[in-house]
Amino acid sequence: MPRPIQATIHTGALRHNLARARAAAGDARVWAVVKANAYGHGIERAFDGLRGADGFALLDLDEAQRVRALGWRGPVLLLEGVFEPRDLELCSRLDLWHSVHCDDQIDMLAAHKTHVGHRVFLKMNSGMNRLGFRPQDYRAAWTRLNALPQVEEISLMTHFSDADGPRGIAHQLAAFQAATQDLPGERSLSNSAATLRHTGTPGLVSDWVRPGIATYGSAPDYPENDAAGWGLEPAMTLAARVIAVQPLQPGDTVGYGSGFVAEQPMRIGIVACGYADGYPRICPTGTPVLVDGEPGRTVGRVSMDMLTIDLTPFPQAGPGTEVTLWGRAARGRCLSIDAVARSAGTVGYELMCALAARVPVQVAD
C-alpha cells in the first residue's frame, strides 16, 4: 500500500476561480499565470481548469514548451522575457510573447534574425524596483523597440508592489500613467490583488490582467480578506491519514525536542505528512487541520515524514482517519491554505509552490 498521503488538484475550482477573476476584471482579457509549475499544481494538471483563459503567462521556456505541447495555440507570455539570445529563436518558433525589461533584451532583439514579428510587453519599473525601465527612461526604450523590424507590437506593462496592502497602487499608477499617456498599445497592470481590490480605480485601464494566486483559490490579502470572502475555492487539497495513535499521560512529550508536553491525558494522532512533503516544519503547535472534516490542531514539531495532531476531542478517530492539511475535506468543509501559511509566518503562495514531488497527485473535478 502506498503511503497514505494525497494531493488533489480541483479542476472545477480552477475554472470557478478563473471565472471569478474574469468577472472582477471588467472587459480585460485574462492571462492565467502558470509560473512555478502552475504555483505547484502542475501545468499539465491545471491546464484543463485554466484553458478558458485568454493566454498563459509564465517564466521558463521549458514551461512555455509544455503549454504548447498541451495543444494551446493562443498567447503565451514570458513574464521576465528572454535570458540569452538563443531564447529568441524559440520565441519565434513557438510564437511566444515576451516581456522586455532592460536594454540588454532590446540589444538581443535587434540582433535577432527572424521573419516572425515579435509581440513584446515593455515593462516599467513604476516603483517596485525589481525589473523594468524607470518612468523617465521608458519612452526611449519604447522608441528603440518601435524602430526594430523584429517587433510587431508593443504592449505596456507594470507590476504593483502593494496591491494587497495599505499602501495601495496609486503612486505606481500615477507614475505609469504620466509616462505612458500618449503611447499607443495595450496595457497590462493588475495581478490578483489589484484585480480583486482595485478594479474600477480611475485610470487603472487594463487590457490584460495577470491573476495568479486568486485562480488557485488563495486570498492575496489574507487575513484582511479570505478566499471564501472573495468567492474563491481551493484548487489544491493536501490530505493524509492517521497511521498510529499514542495515548499520553501528563508530563509525556511529543516528537523531536520534546516540543510539546501533555498537561492532561491525551490521544495523539501520527499523520503521514511531514516537511519532506512540503508541509512547513516551522508550523507551531496549534496549526489548524481538519480531522475527518472537523477543526483540529497540530501538536509538537513537524518531522520529515510525520506530524502529530491532538485526537483527544475525536474519540472515534484512529488509524485510517483522514486529516486535511489544507483544502477540501469531508462534510463540505475547507481549510484555507492561507490559515496554515499564516501559522508558518508565510503566504499561501509558498506552501502551494512547495508541494513536494514525492506526494502523489490526482486530478478531480
Ligand X SMILES: *Cc1c(COP(=O)(O)O)cnc(C)c1O
Task: Choose one: 140-148, 209-217, 249-257, 263-271; the region binding ligand X (CB under 6 A).
Answer: 209-217
In whole angstroms, how close is the CB of 346 to ligand X at the nearest point? 14
| Separation CA 48–CA 32 (nearest Å) | 12
Is 35 part of the annotated catalytic residue set?
yes
Which residue in 191, 206, 298, 336 binds ligand X (CB under 6 A)? 191
Which residue in 159, 187, 197, 241 binds ligand X (CB under 6 A)? 159
The C-alpha cell at 259 is: 516540543
Give the helix/strand (H/E) hosting 294.
Answer: strand 294-297
59/311 with CB nearer ligand X: 59
Half-sphere exposure of 62 (CA within 13 A, CB side): 5
13/79 with CB nearer ligand X: 79
| Separation CA 322–CA 229 (nearest Å) | 26
13/193 with CB nearer ligand X: 193
Contact 197, 163 (CB under 8 A): yes
Task: Choose one: 41-49, 204-212, 236-244, 351-359; the region binding ligand X (CB under 6 A).
Answer: 204-212
| Separation CA 352–CA 347 (nearest Å) | 9
Q: What sign has the CA pseudo-torsion 333, 337, 338, 343?
A: positive
Task: Choose one: 9-17, 45-53, 185-193, 338-346; the region binding ligand X (CB under 6 A).
Answer: 185-193
306/352 with CB nearer ligand X: 352
Which residue in 192, 312, 324, 336 binds ligand X (CB under 6 A)? 192
Which residue in 213, 236, 299, 302 binds ligand X (CB under 6 A)? 213
Q: Which of 113, 222, 256, 349 is catalytic?
A: 256
The C-alpha cell at 60 is: 521558463
13/307 with CB nearer ligand X: 13
Interface with ligand X includes 187 (CB under 6 A)? no
Task: Choose one: 210-218, 229-237, 280-288, 307-315; the region binding ligand X (CB under 6 A).
Answer: 210-218
| Separation CA 197–CA 204 (nearest Å) | 12
Interface with ligand X includes 127 (CB under 6 A)? no
Contacts of 17 (CB under 8 A, 6+ apart): 214, 215, 216, 217, 232, 233, 235
Contact 163, 220 (CB under 8 A): yes
Q: How many CB atoms lie within 10 A of CB 23?
A: 11
Give the helix/strand (H/E) hosting 31.
Answer: strand 29-33
DSSP string covering 215-231, please?
Answer: GGT--TTTTTS-TTTTT
Number of residues binding to ligand X, judged by CB under 6 A: 12
Query: Is the link from the previous residue into 223 a cis peptide, with omega within 30 of 0?
Result: yes
58/239 with CB nearer ligand X: 58
Interface with ligand X includes 101 (CB under 6 A)? no
Which residue in 49, 212, 269, 288 binds ligand X (CB under 6 A)? 212
Task: Choose one: 62-70, 207-215, 229-237, 246-254; the region binding ligand X (CB under 6 A).
Answer: 207-215
What are the residues binding ligand X (CB under 6 A)?
33, 35, 79, 159, 191-193, 210-213, 220
Give the residue numbers annotated as catalytic, written as ranges: 35, 256
